[in-house]
């Protein structure tokens, strides 16, 4: 299920992207993509309640010229079906810092070398409410 697609952005290193939404009851997964375009993603964050063989796991990956990179799995899973959520992303040349609900943070390497985020796309079983930039 497609959500929001934003293009022609100019999010520079150090700026914070915050995404807020309501997770649907019965949610299997939702994803947030940030990068240059669909084929070049600085980070693909996929929260899997029960999808692709994963249960209550966050799977992150990057995509460079259409080729997926190395997956990173995060077992801290603060999401609840039927609840609201907020995630934020701050990037630099080396990594993306992801902040989950409850202020839990983890880092994902910037393997693509992208410095400017021009593209944000959300998908899955979440009603996305806002995307904000600071």
Q: Could you report the per-residue pLDDT of 50-60, keeping only the tens digit for each?
A: 999 999 999 99
Distance CA(4)–CA(50), nearest Å, equals: 22
Domain boundaries, the chain: 5-133
Distance CA(54)–CA(32), nearest Å, equals: 17
CATH architecture of 5-133: Sandwich (2.60)
* The predicted structure's pLDDT at residue 63: 97
Q: Say which DSSP state 28 is in.
A: -
Give me the residues of the chain with pLDDT under 50, please.
none
Dihedral of CA 78/30/40/13: which sign? negative
Give pLDDT tens digits for 63-80. 999 999 999 999 999 999
């Amino acid at each position: 299920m497609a959500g929001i697609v934003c293009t022609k952005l100019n999010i520079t290193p150090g700026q914070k992207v915050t995404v807020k939404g309501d997770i649907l009851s019965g949610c299997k997964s939702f994803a947030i993509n940030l990068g240059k375009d669909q084929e070049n993603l600085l980070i693909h964050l996929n929260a899997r309640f029960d999808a692709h063989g994963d249960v209550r796991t966050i799977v992150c990956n990057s995509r460079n010229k259409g080729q997926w990179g190395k997956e990173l799995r995060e077992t801290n899973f603060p999401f609840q079906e039927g609840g609201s959520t907020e995630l934020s992303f701050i990037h630099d040349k080396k990594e993306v810092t992801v902040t989950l609900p409850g202020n839990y943070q983890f880092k994902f390497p910037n393997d693509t070398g992208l410095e400017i985020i021009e593209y944000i796309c959300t998908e899955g079983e979440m009603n996305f409410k806002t995307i904000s930039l600071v």
